[in-house]
Structures are given as C-alpha cells and as structure tokens.
Amino acid sequence: MTATATGAATDVVMRAREVAKVYGGTHALRGVDFEVRRGHVTALIGENGAGKSTLMKILAGVEQPTAGTIELDGEPVTFASPTEAVAHGVAIIHQELNLCPNLSIADNIFVGRERTRGAFVDDKVQRDAATELLEHLEEPIDPRTLVGDLRLGQQQLIEIARALSEEARVLIMDEPTSALSATEVHVLFRVIRELTARGVSIIYISHHLDECLEIADHAVILRDGNVVAQAPMSEVDMGWIITQMVGREEGALFAPMAHDPGEPLLEISDLIVADPDSPERLAVRGVSVTVHAGEVVGVYGLMGAGRTELLEAVAGRNPVLGGRIVLEGRDLTHASVSERIDAGLILVPEDRQRDGLVPALSVGRNMALAAVSRFVRGMFVRAKDERGAVDEASRVVRVKAASQDAPIGSLSGGNQQKVVIGRALLTQPRVLVLDEPTRGIDVGAKADIFALMAAEARNGIGVLFATSEVGEVLHACDRIVVMARGRVSAVLDPREVDREQLMAASDVSVPDLATTSNPNPPTTTEDE
C-alpha cells in the first residue's frame, strides 16, 4: 500500500461520468463511472476486451467518448489530443511500446517536447535530463544510445522515463511491467510510491494481479465495458479479483496436464549459445532438454536465466556455438529458420509486436504468413484454401475478430497473441515452442492458451514453453526445467513441487557466465 492510502489526501482529482464508447456496432464502454483520488494508486483490472485501454485512452485524450463526461478537479474537460491532456497534467504509458528505434534515448524521451535554445534543440540539456531520469530508474544507460539497440525491458523503462519527464498529476500506467525483470519492477514500485507521496495519482493496469495487490490502494473491475465491482485493496484477495473478472476461480483457468509422453521428438543436447547483446559472453551453456510427443515441458527461470536465448536458438534465430538440436532424428543444429519450420519446429516469439505481427497486414494475412507455401500453386495463391485454413485455425485458437480482413491492430493483446499462435499451428508443427506466450494478456486469454497447449499435446504434438510466472509453470506443464544463469539447475515434477521449492531452484548460486572464447561448461543437470 502507498503511504497515503490512509492519509488525508483522498479528494477526487479526475472522474469519468457515464462514459460510453461505441466502435461501429461494438460497445467498448457502457456508461462507466470511474474516479481517481489524489496520491492513490487505483488498479483497473479486467480481461482483454473489457474496456480498460479504451477508458484510459479517453482519459488521456487519445480517443473521444461517444457519451459521458470527463472531469478534472471537478470541472468538465475535453482533451482533443494527448498533447492537450499532458498540458492539463494527464499522461499515459501505453501498453504497446511507442518508441522510435532509430532515435537516441534522449530524443525519444523528449520527442515532441524538445528542449530548445533559440531555434535549435539543446542536446546537452536533454541528455542531462535523460541521464537523471535513467539514474532514478536505476538504469544508467548512455542517453545517446539508440533505442533500437536496447533490450525489450530497457525500452519499457524508456517509455516510463518519458512519462515521468512530463511531470503529470495523473499518470496512467498500462501494463508498465510486462517486459521488466523483478529488480526493475521493484525500482518502478519505489518510484510509484515516491510519486504518490508527492500527491501524484496513478492509474495502474496490469495482468500481473499480484502486482496490483502489492502496489494499489483501490481495485476497480471492468467486464464487458461495465464496472462490475470495486473495493479497497486491503479488503480483497486474488480469488476475489479473478472471480469478479471472469466469473470462475483461479484453479479452473488451467487445463489438466499429466499426459502420457510418447517417443522423443525434440532432443537438445549440451547446447551452447552466445548472448546476442554481448557476444563475448554465453547466455546458454551446456543445456540438455528432451521433449516427447504429447508432453508439455515448461522452462522456468528468472530474468537473465537464458530462457529466451535457449528457445530462439532452438528455433534458429540465435546461432549455436556447441551442442546439437535434433528433431525426430534429423539434425537441425545449423539449419535455417525456414528449414526448421518445414521440419516441424516453430517458435511463438516473446515480443508479438516486434517479432510476431506485421501491422500493415490483416488478421488473416498475419495468420497465414508462415504457412503461405501450403497454398501456392505455380505463381498464384489459392485464396479460397487459404481463407478456409485461416477460419479453421481461428476457431481452434478462439480468435475474436470481426473478420479475417480486420486490421490486426483492431484486436486486443490476447487476440493478437492467439493470431501468432494460430499462424504457428498452420505450419503443422511437430514441436511447438512458445516464449512467454501469456505476456501482457489477461487471465481469460491465458486460460484459452493453456487449454490450447493441452489440446495440442493430446494430439501428439510436443510443446516447449518458457515463462517467468510461477503459477503458470506449476499448473500448465507435465515437467519443469528450471534454468539459472544459462544452465539447467533442476528438473521437477509440477505435481510434487511447491512455489518455494521452484523459486529456490531458480536462484541457485553458480559461477559467472563463461565467455565464448572458453565454451566448455561444466556438466549440467540432465532432464531424463
């Protein structure tokens, strides 16, 4: 709880009254009443499509309400643009990164609000201010660094730094921690508490419900465009939140696992992979994992454990320095990405916006992209067959879209993720590899994805997925491979391990990572 949760500063700063928003025939918001109190953190919680982002865009001037009013300090206001909202002290950190990768950190932080000296941009003033913001976020990066050279979590922090530079009275945070490490989340929470102590109001949106329980003072639950419940956070728990969100308890969100594994499909032996950001160091060293037919294997580890680097190497995105990757007897260690897809091995990447979707293409075109060769005859694409296959994949993964021709950007984050998974399934894989498949989506969409993984395993496909969520790996897989600092630290049965044992295994103290000039790691824990 924030320091002001029980303090005197409880007056309403911003309020939405009977706000509605209609897109064509779709009612995104239905007469929502919502208020923000000075110095408080208000958690806005709901499934994808519940209306959270729509409401926040209206409060931040990105969208205009179809009906209803917005009040600031008790007076009706209309924000024609985000710039106008910022001028009134309302800023937003968007769920999807909105950065210019070809510009520096400093330029991104002050884009559209450049610090000038006469007719020219004062680069030194901007760099100094950016340095101060980054130091406050405990991320001391050179502000001249291009944003495109940063890892995803660092880019998320640049978004946060930009919002902090606007010195807002009301700060909207839409999924601010989706790409942050546990340490970075801790720093962000410190910053939030400092802001609320100064009287800044925070609206906090996150699918990490434990974060909401920790940082928020008040919970507001949206479902289908309506406020269905609200309460002080001190009076609620995880079970209450999930039940209000989706109408069912947490245990019902996970499909039963415990499949009977068949023959080995994917055999990863003593794999060594360099860190893509620092090629002189190793991100994965001597990892061995086997995935059987009909089995869901979960790879768990903290930030920096090497999960993503392992999966990207398996899929052909990262080069392999040592070891072997064998799929049904075929050595794919040095095969190209397309060769692996043709062999039946495909990755659903961690960052769907950067690596999984083509914004200019429709829902159907995005889904068919990886399997387009299935529908080509001569110089032509058999459009009817392609559309039929996309319709079937959409049904399987339960995509909610107006049509195949709808823009991919019109879908919620959860439905966009389902499109990426549907595209992978259209390639008819033997092993489906998923990196953080539920990042940035709600518990309902997570349930759909885990049910899909279980169904594919029952059909004989091998599933290998990585996650940093303890609850997911305990409930959604048949076997847990724990990684710590590039190695396998344990292989566990989720039916025989608890949360504390899993966390302990992921925090094993091992020597610092070896360098690529000495790629001879000690023998790792075997998974068989």
Asked if 511 and 333 count as a contact pair (C-beta separation under 8 A), the reply is: no
Same domain assignment for residues 233 and 135: no
Per cent of the chain over pLDDT 70 is 90
Is the residue at 362 inside a domain? no
Check residue 522 and give its pLDDT.
Answer: 38
Asked if 343 and 330 count as a contact pair (C-beta separation under 8 A), the reply is: yes
Same domain assignment for residues 64 and 11: yes
User: How far is Cα 303 from Cα 50, in angstroms, rounded to an integer?
Assistant: 30
User: How far is Cα 257 from Cα 494, in angstroms, rounded to an integer?
Assistant: 10
Same domain assignment for residues 333 and 470: yes
**pLDDT, tens digit, 9 for 90 and up, residues 151-201:** 877 888 898 888 889 888 999 998 888 777 778 888 889 999 999 998 999
Asked whether residue 67 carries a pLDDT value surpassing 90, the answer given is: yes
Check residue 528 and give its pLDDT.
Answer: 34
Same domain assignment for residues 237 and 329: no
Asked whether residue 486 carries a pLDDT value surpassing 70, the answer given is: yes
For residue 485, name the pLDDT band (cuts at 50, 70, 90): confident
Is the residue at 130 inside a domain? yes
Same domain assignment for residues 117 and 243: no
pTM of structure: 0.60
User: How far is Cα 406 from Cα 404, in angstroms, rounded to an integer?
Assistant: 6
**pLDDT, tens digit, 9 for 90 and up, residues 388-445:** 989 998 998 888 888 898 999 888 778 888 999 999 999 999 999 999 888 767 777 7
What beta strand segments (E) does 5-136 contain? 12-23, 26-37, 41-45, 67-72, 75-77, 90-93, 116-117, 120-121
Check residue 518 and give its pLDDT.
Answer: 39
- Counting other chains too, the contacts that 449-454 makes at CB distance below 8 Å and 24 or more residues apart are 449/417, 449/418, 449/421, 450/253, 450/254, 450/255, 450/475, 450/476, 451/255, 452/396, 452/397, 452/398, 452/421, 453/255, 453/296, 454/255, 454/256, 454/257, 454/259, 454/296
Check residue 257 and give its pLDDT.
Answer: 57
- Closest by CA position to 52, among listed 247, 231, 245, 197: 245
Check residue 55 and give its pLDDT.
Answer: 94
> Please, what is the Cα angle at 275 between 269 and 276, to 5 degrees?
115
Is the residue at 379 inside a domain? no
Is the residue at 324 inside a domain? yes
**pLDDT, tens digit, 9 for 90 and up, residues 134-148:** 998 888 899 999 999
Range list of H helices, 166-292: 182-197, 209-215, 238-246
Neighbours of 281 (CB within 10 A): 16
φ, ψ dihedrals at 289, nearest 5°: -145, 140
Q: Which two tokens stand for residue 163?
A: 């919002």
Check residue 8 and give its pLDDT.
Answer: 38
Of 220, 247, 274, the one marking the end of a domain is 247
Same domain assignment for residues 333 and 453: yes
Check residue 220 and give its pLDDT.
Answer: 96
Is the residue at 5 inside a domain? yes
Is the residue at 366 inside a domain? no
User: How far is Cα 289 from Cα 525, in angstroms, rounded to an integer?
Assistant: 10
Q: Which two tokens stand for residue 166?
A: 């606007």
Asked if 170 and 13 count as a contact pair (C-beta separation under 8 A), the reply is: yes
> Please, what is the Cα angle at 113 between 147 and 180, to 5 degrees?
35
Same domain assignment for residues 220 and 323: no
Would you give the DSSP letter of residue 407? B
Is the residue at 335 inside a domain? yes
Check residue 339 and give its pLDDT.
Answer: 94
**pLDDT, tens digit, 9 for 90 and up, residues 316-357:** 998 999 999 999 999 999 999 999 999 999 999 988 878 888
Count: domains in the chain: 3
Same domain assignment for residues 69 and 145: no
User: Considering only 98-112, 246-260, 440-454, which range has the smallest mean pLDDT?
Assistant: 246-260
Asked whether residue 255 carries a pLDDT value surpassing 70, the answer given is: no
What beta strand segments (E) does 187-319 contain? 201-205, 218-223, 226-232, 264-275, 278-292, 296-300
Segments forming the whole domain that contains residue 225: 1-89+170-178+199-247
- Label the pairing between strands 170-174 and 345-348: unpaired
Is the residue at 17 inside a domain? yes
Same domain assignment for residues 335 and 242: no
Same domain assignment for residues 85 and 104: no
Average pLDDT over residues 283-312: 91
Check residue 253 and give its pLDDT.
Answer: 57
Asked if 70 and 15 count as a contact pair (C-beta separation under 8 A), the reply is: yes
> What is the SS3 assignment for 464?
strand
Check residue 251 and give its pLDDT.
Answer: 54
User: How far is Cα 108 from Cα 89, in angstroms, rounded to an integer?
Assistant: 20
Asked whether residue 292 carries a pLDDT value surpassing 50, the answer given is: yes
Most confident of 26-40, 377-391, 437-451: 26-40
For residue 40, name the pLDDT band (cuts at 50, 70, 90): very high
**What separation, in Å, do the N-terminal and C-terminal C-alpha atoms of the chain show?**
45
Same domain assignment for residues 329 and 435: yes
Question: For position 37, which CATH number holds?
Answer: 3.40.50.300
User: Considering only 129-133, 376-380, 385-389, which range has the smallest mean pLDDT?
Assistant: 376-380
Q: Which helix (H) or strand (E) holds 348?
A: strand 345-348
Q: Which residues contact 241 (CB under 8 A, 6 or more apart)?
A: 45, 209, 212, 213, 219, 221
**pLDDT, tens digit, 9 for 90 and up, residues 489-523:** 999 999 898 877 887 888 644 334 333 443 334 33
**pLDDT, tens digit, 9 for 90 and up, residues 431-482:** 999 998 887 677 777 888 888 899 999 999 999 999 887 878 888 899 999 9
Same domain assignment for residues 236 and 258: no
